[in-house]
Structure formats: C-alpha cells, structure tokens
Structure 1
C-alpha cells in the first residue's frame, strides 16, 4: 500500500528513496483527531496541505500507510511538527481549565498568591494571581532563586526592585527578569495591587 501511495501521490518527490514510513501507530485516528481539534473538514485540510480529499480520507481510514514525506506534507496544514504529531497526547489527561474558586491560595494575609493548579509537580511553569494590599510587600529580605519570572500589573501600583533598579509599575506595565537577581515586590498605593505572574521553573 505504501509503495502505491508514493507512486500515486509522490511523483513530485514527496518520498525519496529509502525514506521510512510512519509505522507502529494509528496514524489515521491521530490525523482525524487533530483535524477535528482544529475544526477542519477533510476538504479544508486537503486544500491547506495541497493534496486531494481522497488522500486525507484514505489516510484517516488507514487504507493507505503514508511515507514520512507524504505525512509531513499533510501535516503542513497544521502548526505542528511530525515529531509532535507522533508523540503528543491529543487528548489531555491532566486538568486544563480552572474556575476562579479552584485556584490554590499559597500565601494569605496582606499578600495573596493564588496558584493555577493544586501543585506544580511535573510542570515547567508556575502561574499565579497575586494580590498585594496597600503597604504590603514580600518582606525586608530580598528574594532570590533560580529561574525566570514575568508578570503584568492588572490594577493598582507595584513598586518592583530588581538588582539595583527600582520601578513603579501601573496597570498594563510588565516585567521580566532573571530570578537569581535579588528582588522585592511592594505596593506603595492606597488600593490593592493585582498581578498575573509566571515563573519557570516553579518556585512553590
């Protein structure tokens, strides 16, 4: 079948001599799942990829086993690499969506850190909703840890110290720095300061 597919659809050199085939996986089911995730019909995907509708249909039915080159051409209709297509879990098993009440409070008091997710084990990034009451800060002692962090001020005023620099940030302003630099967060305003932040690797 794969040889017939190359002869029928690869006359232009899609699959060169010696090129392997995508074996050992249910390519058809994965392609169908991916296409539906992006809300595409077979016709729309075929147009994007520059192949015939029949090609997409036959692959999804596993009636042909495409060469790696041919599969790469079909996947050109998506923003995904062939490696990710073959390895990515297309049906996430971990929790994806979180209601506001599901964010986990890890601080409390004058400074509130609400974490997205119950914990950060196995995660490469930590994201939080931060709130600082007027006059609140992260303490006299400067913070320092491995990683990088960034954030956007949503409301209020934030006075951020990073290394030897001090800056007052207002809504819409943002920051991004190497977390190994000594840093401190302070709200010098008269209303709560709210920030949405991210840190990698997770520090909590």
Structure 2
C-alpha cells in the first residue's frame, strides 16, 4: 500500500520555502485565501486541476510538487554538551548550539578565551546584534572605543555594526555564553 501524501503540509512547505504568504499565493493563483487555508489544513482535497492552478502561483509543476520530500522533520530542540559544534579552535573556542544554522535567525555560542586570547587588533564589525553573559573569568570588551572589564554575571549587548573586540587580560580562562543575530559564523 502506498503511503498517503499530505497535500496540505506539502503545499505549506513549498509556499514557506518561497517566502510567500497564503494571501499572496491566493492572489497569484486566482483563488480565495480560504481555499489556500483549507488545502493547507487538509480540510479540502483539491482536484488535480485546482492544485495545478495553485501551484502555478508558486510557480511549481505538479511533477516537482509530488517529487518533493515530505514535510521537513522538526529541528532538534535539545543538545548535550558534547553535541555543541566547534566553529573556532585555538586560543578562542566557539562551541555553537546546533551544527546547521541555515534558515535560523539566532546563533548561540559558548565562548572560551584562553589567558591572553584576543579577537585581534582590527575591530570586528558585522550586521545584527550580539549579547552575552560572562560565566567565569574576566574579559575586556571594547565597543566603539569604550572598554570595560566584565566578570562573572556581568553582561554586554550591542549593535554588531559598532567596532568591537574581546580580550582575556587575566591569567585564567574566561567563559561567556553569547548570542548574535543573524548568525555570523
């Protein structure tokens, strides 16, 4: 017996992959918003002709539609310490929550700075925002020419387009839990 294809979930997945709203797809396909909603919630089983007309609004052929993988599996929500992905080695270790951040808006890191570690004399700059909390040790954070030494429990949060750098001036490792958006590694 052939497994039943979830037309609604498949249509929603194809629509979202193209970043098209239900309203926009309805407009492009010449159907009502309710029709798209009913199909996606599996409350309406469209005829082949009706489905083709809706897919023309994406645009996508019937063959492409039925060749698609089913609805993507939900992303992993929980990670053990040994599942954090190392995205930088050396005097500064960046262990990232989740290996694949494609399509994600947020990056969470466990940062470890060895004594004397420095992100470099050239200040960092990139789009987005970042923030973090020092868990242990002390770190000097410089943002737009202002420097501050932060210790356990202290935090930072700034727009990443501002020139910034991080330095561990102490004799013990420093650990920071940070987040930035969008992911910048």
TM-score normalised per structure 1: 0.56
Aligned to 1:164: 145
Displacement of 1:180 in angstroms is 0.3
Query: 72, 91, 94: which is aligned to 1:113?
Result: 94
- Structure 1's unaligned 5+ residue stretches are 1-19, 28-91
Residue 186 in structure 1 maps to residue 167 in structure 2: yes
Q: Which runs of 4+ in 1 moved over 6 A?
A: none
Q: Distance in 2 between matches of 1:108 and 1:180?
A: 24
Displacement of 1:189 in angstroms is 0.7
Q: Deviations over 1:121-178 (max 9, x none)?
A: 1001000000000010101111000100000000000100000100000000000001
Moved more, 147-156 or 111-120: 111-120
Aligned to 1:197: 178
2:88 counterpart SS class: coil
Displacement of 1:26 in angstroms is 7.5
Q: Give the number of equivalent residue pairs.
A: 119
Query: 93, 111, 135: which is aligned to 1:154?
Result: 135
Displacement of 1:119 in angstroms is 2.2
Q: Distance in 2 between matches of 1:203 and 1:164?
A: 22
1:106 counterpart SS class: strand
- Structure 2's unaligned 5+ residue stretches are 1-33, 44-72
Q: Deviations over 1:16-46 (max 9, x none)?
A: xxxx9xx83489xxxxxxxxxxxxxxxxxxx
Q: Deviations over 1:54-110 (max 9, x none)?
A: xxxxxxxxxxxxxxxxxxxxxxxxxxxxxxxxxxxxxx7111111111111111111
Compute the RMSD of aligned alpha carbons: 1.6
